[in-house]
Structures are given as structure tokens and as C-alpha cells.
Amino acid sequence: MALILHIDTAQEEATVALSENDKVIEVLQNKDQKNHASFLQPAIQTIIQHSTFNIQQLNAISVIAGPGSYTGLRVGLASAKGLCYALNIPLITLNTLEVMTMAAINSLTHQHINASTLFCPMIDARRDEVYTALYDNTLNTILQPCAMILNAESFMEIRKSHELVFFGSGAAKWNVICTNNNSIDMSMINTVDAQVVLAHTYFKNKIFVDITYAEPFYIKDFYSPAQKI
């Protein structure tokens, strides 16, 4: 049995969840991004108290390490590292964009997915900028996570041969910039189950990070024309 606590404070909605193996036991969420820091520790205590377990029974902690809100990433990772130190258990860090993509894949019916379908998560950054990446339907990385300033030529080459699925808080920007795109828009996705399943896979494969050196994955801002792929 793997009992894992999951923390996600990377975006607008913060989540604390408890899972047994790859199944969710309890979930608490906070939709006020300004209060993620004050929400986190009480939520962890409440999750444990409402379960049939105690905190010493945790086998690992998973945390969404970025990209996302700089403050949120620091809050989530600091709490996860502190608990791992105190409990002497491993830390699992997950990429926000990959978790979003797994959630999107799971949300679509099989008839919407074919061999050429690619998934493009987008996190709103600033102005016309997003944090984004491209994945295929088995989570292989086609475009590494990056900061991108969107324009009408973004993804131009790859749109000629692939159906792209755009989703996340930054997708609305793309839909304004490019109204004639070979894409499926997904405005709402639930990432809790995806985080739980990915974290359990990491746990089984012993893919842990060094608590001492673990840092948020910010994706440093840069200002350049959108990448052409």
C-alpha cells in the first residue's frame, strides 16, 4: 500500500488530497489564490483527521513543482519539503503541464483521440505570454515546457499535420489570437486524479527528488517571438 499526500498550489485553485495507491481518499480545495498559504496547513491537518490514517503512516508526498504562480510554487514546495524532512519520507515533484495533460487525455473520449492528436496545456503568464508544452497521447514530450509569447504564427507548422487540443488558463488567449485552428478547446479539467495517478507511478518506480536541492520549476520569463515548430 502507498499512502501519499498531494499538494498543488501552482495555479488559481489549490488542492490538498490523500490517496491510497492510485485512488483518491479525501480532497480539499481552495479557489482564492491569495489565500493558498493560509489554506494549506489547516487543509493538510483536516485531510488527515478525516481519514482513518495518521500522518506517520504517509509513505510519500507529491507536490506540483511548476510552472505556475511563483508564490504558490514556493508555498507548496516548502510545506512538502518540511513534512518530508519531519516524517523521513520521499518527495515526488510533478510538472504542472504534464499533470494537466494527463487530466485532459483522461477527460476526452477515445473517439476524440487519434495518432496525430497532440495536447497543448497553457498556463496564463502575462499579456500574450503563456507557459506551455506539447505532448502526445501517451505523455511523450513533443515540445519541452517553455514560456511563449503567442501570435498568429504560433504552432503554425505543427497545426498543418496534427490536431491540437488546447486547455488551461492560458487557452483563452490562444482562442482570441487564432480563431481558425485545428483544435479542440477544453476550458475545464480536473487535475486531482491525474496528480494521484502520476505520483503513484513515480512512487512505484522510486522516482524521488533530493529534498535538500528540490526547487520550483519556474520557467524563467523571456521576451521573444513565439516559437515556430
Dihedral class, residue 66 (left if φ above 0, else alpha if ψ from -120 to 50, else beta)? left
Per-residue 3-state assignment (H helix, E strand, C coil) for 114-125: CCCCEEEEEEEE
At residue 112, the 3 state secondary structure works out as helix
Q: Does the predicted model carry a pTM greater than 0.85?
A: yes
Residue 63 grid coordinates: 507536490
Predicted confidence at residue 112, as pLDDT, reads 67
Please report, in tens digits, the pLDDT of each residue of the chain (229 residues total): 899 999 999 988 899 999 999 999 999 999 887 788 889 999 999 999 999 999 999 999 999 999 999 999 999 999 999 999 999 999 999 999 999 999 999 888 666 678 788 999 999 988 889 999 999 999 999 999 999 999 888 998 898 888 888 898 888 888 888 766 656 666 667 899 999 999 999 999 999 999 999 999 998 644 445 555 5
CB atoms within 10 A of CB 111: 6
Domains and CATH numbers, the chain: 3-95+190-204 (3.30.420.40), 97-186 (3.30.420)
The answer, yes or no, to whether the previous bond of 67 is cis (omega within 30 of 0) is: yes
- 15 three-class SS: strand
- List all residues 6 or more positions away from 153 whose beta carbon is below 8 Å from its beta carbon: 226, 228
